[in-house]
Amino acid sequence: MRTLAITTAALIGTAGIAHAGSLADAVATPAPQPVAPAPVVLDPSWTGFYAGGQIVTGDVEVGDADADADGFGVHAGYLYDLGTVVVGGEIDYDDLDVDGFDDASVARLKGIAGYNAGSFLPYVTAGVAQLDVDNGVDSVDDTGAFYGLGLAYAANENIRVSGEYLEHQFDDFNDGGADVDASTVSLRVSFAF
């Protein structure tokens, strides 16, 4: 009888221990979830000097005649970031191949005003332009005005890619009686420093 009582007590005790450590009492802890890195948002300051090059295509109207123009150029400028507004100035020079002319080039002095949209800078520009053309007989030049729109993208802290559309007007070009109007589109790459 005593053996039966000890065996019964041992079985009851073992059952209690087994119940205490059973799966029913286990607390499930979730596995840690991988944390994705926060996306890097480039919010550059547009303040500073920059310089670069561009390829240009366009259309030139001399009086009633129409000619295609293609070329390349260089530019340099300075922008000042005021927060939401960006202002600045730029000089640029394009060497152009214009149908019917041996050589043509245009130099511009620009004023720029834009909206700081983070990595993007939509802007307006206007200023004065000097057009030089060589028609095979002589070289003539005149000063006119231009205005246009552009959109710059800061690919990183130093590299900017932009597109620009400009309208040029040279009234009574070189006192010759004909107006010269030109529309150009350029793709530009700049290095900011």
**145 located within any domain:** yes
The pTM score is: 0.75
Per residue in 16-35, pLDDT tens?
Answer: 555 555 555 556 677 677 77
**119 located within any domain:** yes
d(CA 179, CA 142): 11
**25 located within any domain:** no
**38 located within any domain:** no
Per residue in 61-103, pLDDT tens?
Answer: 988 889 999 999 999 999 999 999 999 999 999 999 998 788 8
User: Mean per-residue pLDDT for 160-187?
Assistant: 93
- The number of distinct structural domains making up the chain is 1
Which H or E element spans position 4?
Answer: helix 2-20
pLDDT at 58: 95
Which range of residues forms the domain containing residue 107?
48-192
Which H or E element spans position 29?
Answer: none
Per residue in 114-173, pLDDT tens?
Answer: 999 999 999 999 999 999 988 778 888 899 999 999 999 999 999 999 999 999 999 988
**10 located within any domain:** no
**125 located within any domain:** yes
**12 located within any domain:** no
Q: Does residue 49 have a pLDDT over 60?
A: yes
CATH number of 101's domain:
2.40.160.20
Q: Which DSSP category does 13 fall into? A: H
**133 located within any domain:** yes
